[in-house]
Amino acid sequence: MVLARKTIPTINASTIRWVWRKRQAFIPRIHKHAYRSATIGAMRKILHVDMDAFYASVEQRDDPALRGKPVVVAWRGARSVVCAASYEARQFGVRSAMPAVRAERLCPDAIFVPPDFNRYRAVSRQVRAIFLRHTELVEPLSLDEAYLDVTVNKLGLSSATEVAQTIRAAIREETDLTASAGVAPNKFLAKIASDWRKPDGLFVVRPHEVEAFLAPLLVSRLPGVGKVMEGKLAALGVTTVGALGNLAQDTLVNALGNFGRRLYELARGIDERAVCPNQPTQSISAEDTFESDLPLDALVPHIERLAEKTWTAATREKTRSARTVVLKLKTSDFRILTRSLTPSLPPSSAAELARIALDLRDRVLLPAHTRYRLVGVGLGRFEDHETTLPQPELFS
């Protein structure tokens, strides 16, 4: 038998760099299809970690006089909204995003503390550093919550539950704050689970427990199911996830469109979304709520100022540009309007952004006496610079 002689390539620095670039290019494809491959092999292990009453807890940690008292993180004022409420304040019905004046009525003894986002960001960075000790697959949702894929963890801990316990213990020790965590086979289930034993709790949904866990839940617990969708489902005789799971996919799609297909999957605990670290920016915006309602004509300086603020934030995106300009308005009766435009070329300055936003204002055709309590200017549909540059003429 004659054996072919194999040539062994020389390994040098350039070869190693080439292999590393190929490996890095391949990683996102692995992450994107992680769930699909996991359903064939090992089941994914996903955590959702949520800091408990984060902003309020930071304030209570840093000021002992606030501990055990109803703390509301918000500026005082008729147009202010609650950023966070301590658990002592929540007992009175105070919740995030609630008008501050209503919070004050519900809890007259509440202590109002103005938010300090620089301090909250610093603590958030501490918490994220703890996450990264266990996995690089960390997807932040906000300053106080994140998804983690710990199907494989850096420390070689025996289970996702042990990872969650270790993370929560480190957060407590290093930040003097508490976090709740959910452990499940996917993001959808992990997020619900993290809320199950708040505050300072841990809840695990194992693969064989998914159906029993979901069945008694009200459909309002499903993402995307608000009051309107809840009413549509009630018209179909559905109030619980278990009842939703009894409906055929075609029935849901015919009644609810494409979202019916999503609900069909959620009712069965199916969520194929991967944990995506370092997600690219999709939109940037700035908005203001006024002390008193204003007519449309009076919004010009506010739109110009917000355009400048939005543009400053957008310039931090060094390799991507926004294609779409969005103007948001909220009327005195809380009706929300949006107007948007995708010009042939993205805006190139704050002044141009302001000009487009003002043009969008002219497309608002409500009666002249309408008053507005809020205005916002945003940029969306961020794309890489290469795709937003004008294409050269074929024959030039």
Q: For residue range 104-142, what is the model confidence (pLDDT) as tens digits? A: 999 999 999 999 999 999 999 999 999 999 999 999 988
Told to judge if 287 belongs to the known catalytic residues of this protein, a careful annotator would answer: no
For the stretch 61-106, pLDDT in tens is 999 999 999 999 998 877 788 989 999 999 999 998 888 899 999 9
Q: Which residue has the tokens 């801990």?
A: 157
Nearest to 375 by CA among 283, 288, 284: 288
What pLDDT does 386 receive? Answer: 59
Average confidence (pLDDT) over 149-170: 97
Q: Is 235 helix (H, G, I), strand (E, B) or coil?
A: helix
What pLDDT does 385 receive? Answer: 64
Please check whether residue 97 is in contact with residue 82, taking contact to mean a CB–CB distance below 8 angstroms.
yes
Lowest average pLDDT, out of 26-30, 207-211, 375-379, goes to: 26-30
**What's the pLDDT band for 186 if we cut at 50, 70, 90?**
very high
What pLDDT does 342 receive? Answer: 92
Average confidence (pLDDT) over 303-313: 90
What pLDDT does 43 receive? Answer: 85
Element (H, E) at 315: none
Element (H, E) at 236: none
Catalytic residue among 145, 209, 304, 393: 145
C-beta neighbour count of 218 within 10 angstroms = 11
What pLDDT does 312 receive? Answer: 86
Q: Is 48 helix (H, G, I), strand (E, B) or coil?
A: strand
What pLDDT does 36 receive? Answer: 35
Lowest average pLDDT, out of 4-13, 137-146, 240-249, goes to: 4-13
Alpha-carbon Rg for the chain, nearest whole angstrom, is 25
d(CA 382, CA 283): 7
Is the model's pLDDT at 374 over the cut of 60? yes
Average confidence (pLDDT) over 165-182: 98
What pLDDT does 392 receive? Answer: 46
Strand partners, 218: 240
Q: Which residue has the tokens 């103005």?
A: 114
